[in-house]
Chain A
Amino acid sequence: MTIYLPIAELSVNIFIILGMGAAVGFLSGMFGVGGGFLITPLLIFYNIPPVVAVATGANQVVASSVSGAITHFRRGTLDVKLGLVLLVGGLVGASLGVFIFSWLRRQGQLDLVISLLYVVFLGAVGVLMLMESLNAMRRAARNEPVSLKRPGQHNWVHRLPFKMRFKKSKIYLSVLPIIALGFAIGILTSVMGVGGGFIMVPAMIYLLRIPTNVVVGTSLFQIIFTTAYTTVVQAATNYSVDIVLAFILMVAGVIGAQYGVRVGQKLRGEQLRALLGLLVLAVGLRLAVELVLTPDDLYSIAIGG
Chain B
Amino acid sequence: MGRLLFALPTLALLLYGGVAVAQVPLATDMTGKEGLDIGTSTSEIAITSDFRGADLTIFGSVTNSDTLLLAIGQYDVIVTLEGPRDDTTVRRKDRVFGIWVNRTSMTFEHMPTSYSLASTRALSEITKPQTLTDLGIGIDYMALTPTGYLSSSANLKDFREAFRRIKQTGGLYQGEDAGVRFVSSSLFKATLRLPASIPDGVHIVHAYLFKTGEFIAERELHLRVIKTGLEDSISRAAHENPLTYGLLSVLLALITGWTASLIFRRD
Contact = CB atoms under 8 A, between A and B. Distances in A.
Given A231-B249, A243-B252, A258-B260, A303 B234 contact: no
Interface in B152-192: 159, 162-163, 165-167
Interface in B50-95: 50, 86-94
Given A62-B250, A66-B257, A6 B235 contact: yes
A112 B102 contact: yes
Contacts of B167: 301
A4 B231 CA distance: 7
Interface in A245-302: 246-247, 250-251, 254-255, 257-258, 291-295, 297-302
B87 A300 contact: no
A292 B95 CA distance: 8
Interface in B211-265: 231-232, 234-235, 238-239, 242-243, 245-250, 252-254, 256-258, 260-261, 264
Contacts of A257: 260
A172 interface: no
Binding site of A, secondary structure by majority: helix, strand, loop or mixed?
A: helix
Given A63-B257, A300-B166, A305-B107, A294 B249 contact: no
A232 B242 CA distance: 8
B110 to A, nearest CB: 11
B17 interface: no
Contact of A232 (B92, B113, B250): B250
Contact of B250 (A9, A59, A255): A59
Contact of B253 (A6, A62, A236): A62
A243 B234 contact: yes
B98 interface: yes
A294 B100 contact: yes
Interface residues of A, number: 55
Given A65-B257, A109-B102, A305 B147 contact: yes
A302 B260 contact: no
Interface in A52-89: 59-60, 62-67, 70-71, 74-75
A305 to B, nearest CB: 5
Nearest to B87: A305
Interface in A77-115: 108-109, 112
Given A4-B49, A109-B101, A235-B246, 13 more contacts: A6-B231, A60-B253, A67-B264, A108-B89, A108-B102, A112-B99, A112-B101, A232-B243, A254-B256, A291-B99, A294-B100, A297-B166, A303-B86
27 contacts: A4-B50, A4-B231, A5-B231, A63-B254, A66-B261, A67-B257, A67-B258, A108-B91, A231-B253, A232-B247, A232-B250, A239-B239, A243-B238, A243-B245, A250-B252, A258-B260, A299-B91, A299-B93, A299-B159, A300-B93, A301-B89, A301-B167, A302-B88, A304-B86, A304-B89, A305-B87, A305-B107
Interface of B: 49-50, 86-94, 98-102, 105, 107, 113, 147, 159, 162-163, 165-167, 197, 231-232, 234-235, 238-239, 242-243, 245-250, 252-254, 256-258, 260-261, 264, 267
Interface of A: 4-7, 9, 59-60, 62-67, 70-71, 74-75, 108-109, 112, 116, 228, 231-237, 239, 241, 243-244, 246-247, 250-251, 254-255, 257-258, 291-295, 297-305
